[in-house]
Amino acid sequence: MNLNSLLLRPPTGLLHPAPVDPDRHTMSRERLLAYLQIKVHHLIQEQDWDSIRIVGGYDRTRGISRYEKSGKLFNTERPTAQAYGRDLLVQAFPGADYVQHYALIIATYLAMTGRPADTVAYQPPGEEECRTALDALDLDLRGDVVIVGWGLEHLAPRSGVWTQGPGHCWQRTKVGGTGVVYLGFRHSIWGDVAGHTVARLARMGAGAVVYVGKVGSLDPGTEPNQWLATGNTSLLGGALVSWDDFFGDYARTQPGVRSGLHVSSPSILLENQDWLAQHAASYTFVDPEIGPMGAAAGRAGIPFGYLHVISNNLASLYPADLSNERHSDVLRQRAILLDRITRIITARLTGGTPLHGAAP
């Protein structure tokens, strides 16, 4: 979708995000601001605008942020931005959760840096727009297990060749006679985008989907980057959803793996102290994608499983959190966990025994 068509859209359905109170968030004020600074487009950080509108749209031809990640094959792209006089149009990959999340990021950043946040509005993309945004994903799947998400450069065979597609890369291999496709995206598959991804993969013939990523812990005793998380139930939109778990009881019985009930949150910015008090007693993990993916897999009739690094803790303050996850110590610890994930997935596919020794 080009810039002119987005600008000419009638401004119907515009929503104005309320900046979050940094003193009530589960991250400290300092860490929350550091998190926002690595997310907000440079045009917003460097100058003021009469209005900032966030919409769904994937356009990599212009307006790329200077703060995008580098040195990685996947999840490097962030929303782009183009000036239209004194107005700024921000294009996030079409997803209702992602557009809202990025609007909250911008509004909260502006408020925390002493600038007016009432200039920010967002226009949620429609369901059809979100679904068709993934039409460029076109793989010949023949019952393969598709492993999607984070850390794929470590999970996939080092000798494998990545095939490039629009906004994604993939490679195919066999593990114990089972066809496995590793699929990574350069853009974010945040929240409901991840659910649409599973639905698309099922329509293309996926036999199962495994999601490797990162979750936050609601258990104050769980130190980040030391444990893996798994489960088969999530609170999504106020209702519990469960799915046919690809791992069964297998992953949760392995050393260093914790299991529990998950809650799906459309934005980290919404996870304040009140949110934590409401969910901490009943739920163990939080992220934006697991619930939508599990629900989509259930509707499609295919197994789904997640095996995630516990990357941050909402209930206790630890040195590592989402504001400093690019530090070398964090990367080293996560590399160890990714090796553990590789062995568990391989053993699940081959029927072997993946690990020995006690949990951390």
Residue 200 phi, psi (nearest 5): -65, -45
Is residue 353 pLDDT above 60, yes or no?
Answer: no
Residue 199 pLDDT: 98
Is residue 244 pLDDT above 50, yes or no?
Answer: yes
Residue 21 pLDDT: 98
Average pLDDT taken over every residue of the chain: 93
Residue 323 pLDDT: 85
| Amino acid (one-letter) located at 222 | T
| Window from 1-5, 151-155, 271-275 with minimum mean pLDDT | 1-5
Residue 360 pLDDT: 44
pLDDT tens by residue, 225-242: 999 999 999 999 999 999
Query: Which residue, 200, 224, 201, 206, is CA-closest to 214?
Result: 224
Is residue 8 pLDDT above 50, yes or no?
Answer: no
- Tell me the three-class secondary structure of 254-293, residue by residue: CCCEEECCEEECCCHHHCEHHHHHHHCCCCCEEECCHHHH
Residue 72 pLDDT: 82
Residue 45 pLDDT: 98
Residue 93 pLDDT: 97
Instruction: Quote the CA–CA distance of 228 and 233 in Å, as a whole number.
Output: 16
Q: Using pLDDT thresholds of 50, 70 and 90, give the confidence band for residue 69.
A: confident
Residue 5 pLDDT: 52
Tokens 């239209």, located at residue: 84
Tokens 């809202």, located at residue: 100
Residue 337 pLDDT: 96
Q: Which helix (H) or strand (E) holds 246?
A: none
| Rg of the chain over all Cα atoms, to the nearest angstrom | 20
pLDDT tens by residue, 191-217: 999 999 999 999 999 999 999 999 999
Dig out the tokens for 229 from the structure: 């998380």
Is residue 6 pLDDT above 70, yes or no?
Answer: no
Question: Helix axis angle, 29-37 relative to 96-112, nearest 10°?
Answer: 120
The distance of Cα 359 from the centroid of its chain, to the nearest Å, equals 26
Dig out the tokens for 133 from the structure: 């945004």
Residue 11 pLDDT: 59
Residue 324 pLDDT: 81
Its sign, for the CA torsion 59, 60, 65, 68, is: positive
Q: Using pLDDT thresholds of 50, 70 and 90, give the confidence band for residue 327.
A: confident
Instruction: Quote the CA–CA distance of 101 and 117 in Å, as a whole number.
Output: 15
Residue 103 pLDDT: 98
Neighbouring C-beta atoms of residue 296, cutoff 10 Å: 24
Average pLDDT over residues 219-224: 96
Q: Using pLDDT thresholds of 50, 70 and 90, give the confidence band for residue 326.
A: confident
pTM equals 0.93
| Amino acid (one-letter) located at 113 | T
Residue 321 pLDDT: 85
Instruction: Quote the CA–CA distance of 96 and 185 in Å, as a whole number.
Output: 18
Average pLDDT over residues 40-47: 98
Is residue 322 pLDDT above 90, yes or no?
Answer: no
Instruction: Quote the CA–CA distance of 254 and 359 in Å, as a whole number.
Output: 8
Beta carbons of 213 and 306 less than 8 angstroms apart: yes
Instruction: Quote the CA–CA distance of 356 and 339 in Å, as a whole number.
Output: 13
Residue 357 pLDDT: 38
Beta carbons of 257 and 339 less than 8 angstroms apart: no
DSSP type of residue 253: G
Q: Using pLDDT thresholds of 50, 70 and 90, give the confidence band for residue 10.
A: low
pLDDT tens by residue, 297-317: 999 999 999 999 999 999 999
Residue 358 pLDDT: 37
CA distances from 110 to 34, 37, 273, 337 (A): 13, 10, 21, 36
Using DSSP, state whether 350 is helix, strand or coil.
helix
